[in-house]
C-alpha cells in the first residue's frame, strides 16, 4: 500500500513540476503593465471607403520575464472600422501573444470609413484593449474621414464640378471632344494611383485667389503631401482648345499638365495663370506642338523637366518661376535641364528604331521670369536646323554655365546669369518656398511694361507698388521702416 502511495506522490510531483515549468516562463503578477509607443494611433484625413495607409503601434515589455498578453481586441469588434494585424494575421481579436523580456512587438492598424453623406470631415474612434494577467489597458484609435463624389472610369459630358464635396477620380475621367468641364472655385479633385484627367473637349478651371482649385492625389496623410508620381496627370489632347487653368494647384503626379500629343493632328491651346505645378516624377508642363500663354506661374521640382516645349508650337510666359531642386524624393540625380525648348522629338520604338517628329517653334517667349535650379545648366535648346526655332528671354535670370553665350540680342535681352545673380528663394529645399529673399538678385529689375500687363503677383501683391517689378511669380515688397 505504501509502495503504491509513493508512486502516486511521485507522479503528482512530476505533473506539478511539468506545469510549473510551463508557467514559469511568463510573469504572473496582476500588477504587470505593458508600455506603448503612443497612447493614440492617429490617422490623418482619408477618403471614405478607400482605406488608409498602415499605422503601427509598438508594445514594450519592461520586465525581466516574458509577458503573455492573454487577449488583444478591437473594442468595436467585427463592427469596427479598424483592422489589426497581429503576428502576420489580420484579425480584430488575438489570444496568447507573447512579448519577450525587455523586448517589444509591433501591431499594425488599418481603417476604412463608410460614407455618411455629409460634406464635412467626420471622426471615427475606437480602441485596442490589451488584457495581461487580468489587467486591462487600452490604446485609442482615431481617424478623420472625408466623404466625396466618385468618378470611376467615366466619360464626362458638359457639366460643372462644384466645391461642396471633393471629387475622387478612379481610373480616369474623360472629357470628349463635344463637351466642356467647368470647375468652380474651391473645388478639390483627388486622383487614385494610376488615375488621370483626359480632355479632348475643353476644361475651364477658373479658381480665385481666395478659393483656388486643387488637383492632387487621394493620399491625404501628411507623409504623402509632397511625394511625386501618386497619379498620372492631366492631358489636353491635340484638338482641345480654349482650356483655362487659373489659380489652380497641380501636385504629385507623373506629368502635371500635358498640352498636345503626337498621335493626333492639330494642337492644344491653353491659358495658364496664377497656378502652381509641383513635385512631378517626370515633367511639370509638357507641351507638344501646342499654344500656351501663361503668367504668374510656379513650376517646380520635377524629376526630368519642369517645362518641356517640344516639336515646335507657340508659347508666351510672363512673370514665371521655373525652379527645379529635385533631390528630396529620389536618390537618382537629375541630369536633365529644367527648361527644354525644341522643334523636334526623337522617339525610340520597341524594335530599337527611332522616329523623329519635327515642327516649327514659332515663338517661345519668357519675360520677367526666372529659370533656376540645382544643376549647372537649366536650359536645353534643341534645333533641327530645318524648322523655325524662335525663342527669346527678356529680363530673365537663367541658370546656365559661364560659357553659355547670351550675346545674341535676338534671343537674350537684359538676361542675367552666374553666381552673383542667384534669385535666392526663401527655402526651395525643405519648405518649398519660392518667394524671394530680401537679398535676391531678382528684386526690382523687371520690365515695367510687362508688370503693367500683370500688376498683381501670384499672391495677389501689387508688383507696381515699389521701386520696380521683381522677376518671377512672387513679388517681394519690403516693409518700410517705421519713422
For residue 140, what pLDDT band results from cuts at 50, 70 and 90? very high
- What are the residues whose beta carbons fall under 8 Å from the beta carbon of 480, sequence distance 6 or more? none
Do both 55 and 201 map to the same domain? no
Query: What domain count does the chain have?
Result: 2
Tens digits of residue pLDDT in 40-74: 999 888 888 887 888 999 999 999 999 999 999 99
pLDDT at 120: 67
Do both 137 and 270 map to the same domain? no
pLDDT at 17: 44
Do both 138 and 163 map to the same domain? no
Do both 134 and 272 map to the same domain? no
To the question of pTM greater than 0.85 for the whole model, the response is no
Do both 39 and 56 map to the same domain? yes
Overall average pLDDT of the 436-445 stretch: 96
Task: Name the one residue in this structure whose C-alpha cell is 496627370.
Answer: 233
471 has pLDDT over 80: yes
279 has pLDDT over 50: yes
375 has pLDDT over 80: yes
d(CA 376, CA 277): 22
Per-residue cell: 421: 545673380
In a domain, 48, yes or no: yes
For residue 220, what pLDDT band results from cuts at 50, 70 and 90? confident
pLDDT at 118: 74
Overall average pLDDT of the 134-139 stretch: 94
Tens digits of residue pLDDT in 296-325: 999 999 999 999 999 999 999 999 999 999
Overall average pLDDT of the 440-461 stretch: 97
343 has pLDDT over 60: yes
pLDDT at 24: 53
Do both 115 and 168 map to the same domain? no
Do both 95 and 187 map to the same domain? no
Do both 390 and 268 map to the same domain? yes
Q: Which domain covers residue 247, as residue numbers?
A: 148-453
Do both 345 and 316 map to the same domain? yes
Do both 120 and 161 map to the same domain? no
d(CA 63, CA 54): 29
Asked whether 220 and 146 are in contact (CB, 8 A), the reply is yes
d(CA 390, CA 383): 10
Final residue belonging to a domain, choices 101, 127, 145: 145
21 has pLDDT over 70: no
19 has pLDDT over 50: no
For residue 113, what pLDDT band results from cuts at 50, 70 and 90? confident
Do both 244 and 96 map to the same domain? no
3-class secondary-structure state, position 413: strand
Asked whether 143 and 81 are in contact (CB, 8 A), the reply is yes
In a domain, 236, yes or no: yes
Among 60, 140, 162, 130, smallest CA distance to 101 is for 60
For residue 483, what pLDDT band results from cuts at 50, 70 and 90? very low
Among 231, 253, 228, 258, smallest CA distance to 243 is for 258
Among 48, 36, 35, smallest CA distance to 143 is for 48
pLDDT at 330: 58
- What are the residues whose beta carbons fall under 8 Å from the beta carbon of 3, sequence distance 6 or more? none
Final residue belonging to a domain, choices 123, 145, 167: 145
18 has pLDDT over 60: no
In a domain, 474, yes or no: no
* Tally: H helices and E strands in the chain: 2, 35
For residue 418, which phi and psi values (nearest 5 degrees)? 95, 165
Overall average pLDDT of the 322-335 stretch: 79
182 has pLDDT over 60: yes
202 has pLDDT over 90: yes
Q: What is the 3-state secondary structure of 12-34?
A: HHHHHHHHHHHHCCECCCCCCCC
195 has pLDDT over 80: yes
pLDDT at 53: 80
Per-residue cell: 457: 503677383
For residue 81, what pLDDT band results from cuts at 50, 70 and 90? very high
109 has pLDDT over 50: yes
Asked whether 269 and 260 are in contact (CB, 8 A), the reply is no
Amino acid at each position: 500500500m505504501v509502495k503504491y502511495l509513493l508512486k502516486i506522490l511521485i507522479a503528482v510531483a512530476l505533473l506539478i513540476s511539468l506545469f510549473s515549468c510551463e508557467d514559469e516562463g511568463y510573469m504572473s503578477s496582476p500588477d504587470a503593465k505593458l508600455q506603448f509607443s503612443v497612447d493614440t494611433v492617429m490617422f490623418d484625413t482619408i477618403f471614405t471607403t478607400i482605406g488608409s495607409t498602415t499605422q503601427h503601434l509598438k508594445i514594450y515589455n519592461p520586465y525581466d520575464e516574458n509577458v503573455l498578453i492573454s487577449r488583444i481586441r478591437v473594442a468595436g469588434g467585427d463592427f469596427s472600422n479598424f483592422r489589426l494585424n497581429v503576428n502576420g494575421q489580420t484579425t480584430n481579436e488575438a489570444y496568447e501573444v507573447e512579448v519577450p523580456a525587455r523586448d517589444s512587438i509591433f501591431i499594425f492598424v488599418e481603417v476604412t470609413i463608410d460614407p455618411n453623406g455629409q460634406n464635412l470631415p467626420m471622426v471615427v474612434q475606437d480602441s485596442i484593449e490589451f488584457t495581461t494577467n487580468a489587467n486591462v489597458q487600452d490604446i485609442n484609435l482615431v481617424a478623420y474621414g472625408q466623404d466625396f463624389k466618385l468618378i470611376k472610369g467615366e466619360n464626362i459630358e458638359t457639366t460643372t464640378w462644384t466645391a461642396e464635396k471633393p471629387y475622387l477620380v478612379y481610373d480616369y475621367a474623360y472629357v470628349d471632344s463635344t463637351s466642356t468641364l467647368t470647375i468652380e472655385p474651391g473645388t478639390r479633385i483627388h486622383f487614385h494611383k494610376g488615375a488621370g484627367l483626359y480632355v479632348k473637349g475643353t476644361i475651364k478651371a477658373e479658381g480665385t485667389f481666395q478659393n483656388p482649385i486643387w488637383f492632387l492625389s487621394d493620399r491625404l496623410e501628411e507623409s504623402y503631401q509632397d511625394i511625386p508620381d501618386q497619379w498620372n496627370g492631366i492631358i489636353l489632347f491635340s484638338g482641345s482648345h480654349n482650356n483655362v487653368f487659373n489659380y489652380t494647384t497641380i501636385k504629385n503626379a507623373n506629368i502635371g499638365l500635358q498640352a498636345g500629343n503626337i498621335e493626333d493632328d492639330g494642337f492644344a491651346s491653353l491659358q495658364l495663370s496664377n497656378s502652381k505645378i509641383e513635385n512631378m516624377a517626370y515633367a511639370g508642363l509638357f507641351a507638344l506642338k501646342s499654344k500656351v500663354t501663361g503668367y504668374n506661374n510656379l513650376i517646380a521640382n520635377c524629376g526630368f523637366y519642369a517645362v518641356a516645349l517640344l516639336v515646335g508650337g507657340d508659347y508666351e510666359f510672363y512673370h514665371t518661376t521655373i525652379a527645379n531642386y529635385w533631390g528630396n524624393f529620389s536618390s537618382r540625380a537629375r541630369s536633365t535641364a529644367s527648361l527644354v525648348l525644341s522643334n523636334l522629338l526623337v522617339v525610340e520604338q520597341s524594335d530599337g528604331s527611332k522616329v523623329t517628329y519635327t515642327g516649327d517653334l514659332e515663338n517661345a517667349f519668357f519675360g520677367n521670369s526666372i529659370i533656376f535650379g540645382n544643376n549647372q545648366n537649366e536650359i536645353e535648346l534643341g534645333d533641327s536646323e530645318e524648322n523655325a526655332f524662335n525663342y527669346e528671354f527678356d529680363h530673365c535670370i537663367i541658370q546656365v554655365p559661364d560659357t553659355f553665350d547670351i550675346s545674341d540680342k535676338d534671343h537674350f535681352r537684359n538676361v542675367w546669369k552666374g553666381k552673383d545673380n542667384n534669385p535666392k528663394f526663401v527655402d526651395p529645399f525643405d519648405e518649398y518656398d519660392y518667394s524671394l529673399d530680401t537679398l535676391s538678385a531678382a528684386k526690382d529689375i523687371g520690365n515695367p511694361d510687362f508688370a503693367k500687363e500683370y500688376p498683381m503677383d501670384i499672391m495677389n501683391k501689387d508688383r507696381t507698388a515699389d521701386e520696380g517689378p521683381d522677376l518671377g511669380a512672387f513679388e517681394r515688397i519690403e516693409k518700410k521702416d517705421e519713422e
